[in-house]
Amino acid sequence: MDAISVRSLTKTYGGFTAVDDLTFSVEEGETFALLGPNGAGKTTTIEILEGLRERDSGDVTVLGRDPSGRDIGLQREMGVMLQDGGLYPGAKAREIIDLYGAFYPNPRPTDELLDLFGLSDKAGIQQKRLSGGERQRLALATALVGRPKLIFIDEPTSGMDVAGRHATWEIVRDLKAQGVTVILTTHYMEEAEQLADRVGIVSGGRLLALGAPEVLTAGRRGVRFKSADALDSGALSEALGCEIVKLPAGAFSIDVEASPTLLARLAAWAEAEGVLLTEVRVGAGGLEEVFLELTAGEEA
């Protein structure tokens, strides 16, 4: 059964189309990542699913109900973690969890959540005095206090150190193990690869790709790299006898079968030109490469 169903969703602001005939679904218990560049329509889509924004057209159901109906029962079955937290800066960590817990009939104990997120020793500290990572953990704790069936998580590890990020990933994995449906938005492609059963990539309000990370990245070949120096892709293409594709963020792709000969010729050309190549990858590209290629040239 689908936890979320979106059919031909459209939302415009004046003459600007933020969401353009978007269709996808999320199964119960699935971790689904919605990815896209800034301005792609992710936030508008998520806010419509959360019942915070009205749609212009299309059909949307969340846990079998229309989120625009302001159904208090539905709202109690959802957890929401906003990227900026949206928490009272002057309130203490314990007070914030207690407050959010009061909105639900059977909240998780505050001490349990403080311990889960490593905030027990910060319980009496004002939210504004917590570190960025600690504020993120507190925001996620408030999203879980109502024991949600479905949770929206926006940039969960922004501002966290490596240890905090991996600890948060384990919490998300535990939610999946408990059967909770997770909708994740993130700019960390590794995070989406690690956590998501499927990803949807959007840009310009349109769905560009949908599938499991391993499916979207399968069958990719060639060599991808960046350059620490200015690189003449036309000259390199002529030297290698194959097309060099320029990607966003200073990356390049050679989309022919990788071989020792190709790598040797690439290295020899770089040496002759005094160009330092970095982040050289052989074989299947990761989700980041797929994302960059699909969104290249798309209006954000």
pLDDT number for residue 79: 96
Dist CA 254 CA 151 (whole Å): 40
What is the CA 96 to chain-centroid distance, rounded?
Answer: 26
What are the structure tokens assigned to 76, written together?
């109690």
For 266, counting Cβ atoms within 10 Å of its Cβ (0-12 exposed, 13-18 middle, 19+ buried), the class is buried
What is the CA 69 to chain-centroid distance, rounded?
Answer: 27
Query: How many C-beta atoms lie closer than 10 Å to residue 89's C-beta?
Result: 12
pLDDT-flagged residues of the chain (< 70)? 83, 85, 219-220, 248-249, 283-285, 297-300
- CB contact at 8 A, 172 and 31: yes
Q: Where are the beta strands (DSSP E) in 83-241?
A: 150-154, 181-185, 198-203, 206-211, 223-227
pLDDT digit string, tens, across residues 57-103: 999 999 999 999 889 999 999 999 976 767 899 999 999 999 999 99
The whole-chain average pLDDT of the chain stands at 91
**CA quadruple 39, 42, 48, 50: dihedral sign:** negative
pLDDT number for residue 285: 64
pLDDT digit string, tens, across residues 130-151: 998 899 999 999 999 999 999 9
Is pTM beyond 0.85? Reply is no
Q: Kind and range of the H or E element at 79?
A: strand 78-81
pLDDT number for residue 175: 96
| Region label for 21, one of left (φ > 0), alpha (ψ between -120 and 50) or beta (otherwise) | left
Domain definitions of the chain by residue range: 2-213, 223-283
Topology of domain 223-283 in CATH is: Alpha-Beta Plaits (3.30.70)
What are residue 3's phi and psi, to 5 degrees? -80, -30
Topology of domain 2-213 in CATH is: Rossmann fold (3.40.50)
pLDDT number for residue 69: 87
